[in-house]
Chains A and B, each alone.
Chain A
Amino acid sequence: MSTLDHTQASELFSAYWDEELSSEQTAVLEEHLGSCLSCRQEYQEFEQMLGAAATLPQELAPPNFVAGAVKRVHRRSRGRFFRVRRLGERIPYELFSLLMLGLILAVYLMLQLNQPGRLNLP
């Protein structure tokens, strides 16, 4: 590739803008841009347009955005999503079930002891 026509030149605009051309391609394109007024103008406009795109002001989320998102998570999960509250802030089911298990075991052992003939414990 030693010289370019207008179409070949404009095909390189993106890669040139992104600095992705090899040094050889860059030199060939720059040579064409140096000698071809219409491509030079085309590239200038291409460059200005992308420059304008890059400097578009950032649009900010509305002020209540964070609260809105949190509310939405709560609503969609019916309040179940966020971490289970710590023990003490709620009924301690774990403790409760342990106590129940202990109670059942105690009752069972007492029943067994009341029937000495059938006791199979080691």
Chain B
Amino acid sequence: MTALRERRLLRRLQRHDENAFQEFVRLYQHQVFNLVLRMLGNRAEAEDVAQDVFVTVFKSIESFRGESKISTWLYRIAMNQCQNRIKYLSRRPTVRSDVLVESSTAPQAAGPEAQLRGRQLEGLVQEAIAELDEEHRMLIVLRDIEELAYQEICSITGLPEGTVKSRLHRARLALREHVKKRGG
């Protein structure tokens, strides 16, 4: 979205325009849902948290001064709510991970063998991400899945760039270990 379009939408949101809210949710729903699902690993939980993210956005839209991109702010809210939900769920560990159920079906251009290997690796990586501790998972999701710039990750997490880089490196090594354990 261009900066101008973003500012226009923001102005309408700040006027509590319901159509603007719908437009906003439509624009960002998949990004937010995907992010939250990668963090929580469960579709029902992810849908619930992702909707709460948009409610929070709307409730606090007046306080948004445009010092970062809307998407950065949105991601920060999403990550906060994921962390709260993870804390909450850890006290009642009945929610199963179901992130693998419908995924890994993306078409790939390579031959059947490479395709199988790619899909297997994707599955392993998904399972391994779910095993990372929360902060490692957050960094992997933001950098290696969402492919955000370091500067953006710093605004989302509130960590300095050097810390993000060194912790991300630890996170990648940890991910590598989890993938290895699973035979990848």
Contact = CB atoms under 8 A, between A and B. Distances in A.
Given A52-B122, A70-B22, A81-B16, A13 B47 contact: no
Contacts of A60: 30, 33-34
Interface residues on A, range: 35 or more
Interface residues of B, number: 51
Contact of A54 (B26, B32, B126, B147): B147
A38 B18 CA distance: 58
Contact of A57 (B54, B103, B147, B165): B103
Contacts of A52: 118, 121-122, 124-125
Given A52-B118, A65-B47, A66-B26, A59 B21 contact: no
A81 B58 contact: yes
Interface in A52-73: 52-62, 65-66, 68-70, 72-73
Given A49-B184, A55-B106, A56-B145, 11 more contacts: A10-B173, A11-B169, A15-B165, A45-B180, A52-B121, A53-B125, A53-B140, A57-B105, A66-B25, A83-B16, A83-B18
